[in-house]
């Protein structure tokens, strides 16, 4: 088993944790994020209102154009990523935790991440931490290291685009 690659990022958004939650679970926004990275949203489902604990499942395709040739050989022109999120109900101050699990079709890569929405006055700090693992020793490690920046970018981009979305949709 190779060492997992670490994902880590922190972004501060000038909005309440509930507003951030609502953007992160807005199908139009998710479609926008997917298309910004050259991908396509295939499906999005959500269980229940975002005011409590809930789960979401997002299926999207992402291009492999920026990946090394070895990854493109295995994965083809695009990869299909299923993102399952399990959101906690808000804490007393509105902060909440989102456990993210990503699986990539045809690739021995699993991503687990935790996204925390931490209330800080009128802002919300989005903290992302996690790792990209592969169950296949040699080739899997290469694919994981190729997938990590792509997946990391997509997850980080979500917070950057959320700020623009909040500004233009408020």
Burial 3-26 (b: 16+ CB within 10 A, else e): ebbebebebebebbbbbbbbbbbb
In this prediction, residue 156 carries a pLDDT of: 74
In this prediction, residue 1 has a pLDDT band, given cuts at 50, 70 and 90, of: very low
Indicate the DSSP class of residue 157.
Answer: H
CA angle 118, 31, 170 (to 5 degrees): 55
Crossing angle of helices 138-168/27-36, nearest 10°? 120
What integer pLDDT is reported at residue 139 of this predicted model?
67
Cα-Cα-Cα-Cα dihedral of 117, 124, 38, 138, to 10°?
Answer: -40
Q: How confident is the model at residue 3 (pLDDT cuts 50, 70, 90)?
A: low
Pick from 60, 153, 74: nearest CA to 106: 74
What pLDDT score was predicted for residue 74? 75
- Residue bearing the bigger pLDDT, 152 or 119: 119
Provide DSSP, 1-52. Answer: -PPPEEEEEEEEESS-HHHHHHHHT-HHHHHHHHHHTT-EEEEEEEES-TTS
Q: How confident is the model at residue 4 (pLDDT cuts 50, 70, 90)?
A: low
Calculate what percentage of the chain has a pLDDT beyond 70: 91
pLDDT at 53 over 60: yes
- How far CA 23 is from CA of 41, 113, 170, in Å, comes to 16, 19, 11
Residue among 165, 167, 154 nearest 27 (CA): 165
Structural domains present in the chain: 5-168 (3.30.530.20)
Q: Which position has the higher pLDDT, 148 or 20?
A: 20
pTM for this predicted structure: 0.86
For the ranges 9-23, 28-42, 62-76, 135-149, the lowest mean pLDDT is seen at 135-149
Q: What is the mean pLDDT of residues 126-140?
A: 79
């Amino acid at each position: 088993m190779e060492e997992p690659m670490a994902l880590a990022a922190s972004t501060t958004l000038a909005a309440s944790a509930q507003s951030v939650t609502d953007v992160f679970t807005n199908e139009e926004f998710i479609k926008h994020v997917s298309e910004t990275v050259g991908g396509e949203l295939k499906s999005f489902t959500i269980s229940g209102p975002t005011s409590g604990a809930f789960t979401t499942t997002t299926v999207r395709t992402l291009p492999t154009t920026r990946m090394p040739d070895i990854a493109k050989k295995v994965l083809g022109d695009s990869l299909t990523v299923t993102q399952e999120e399990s959101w906690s109900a808000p804490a007393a101050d509105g902060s909440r935790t989102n456990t993210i699990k990503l699986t990539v079709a045809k690739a021995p890569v699993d991503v687990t991440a935790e996204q925390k929405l931490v209330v800080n006055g009128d802002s919300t700090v989005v903290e992302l931490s996690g790792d990209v693992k592969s169950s296949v020793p040699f080739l899997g490690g290469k694919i994981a290291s190729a997938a990590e920046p792509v997946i990391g970018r997509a997850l980080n981009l979500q917070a950057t685009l959320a700020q623009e979305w909040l500004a233009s949709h408020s």
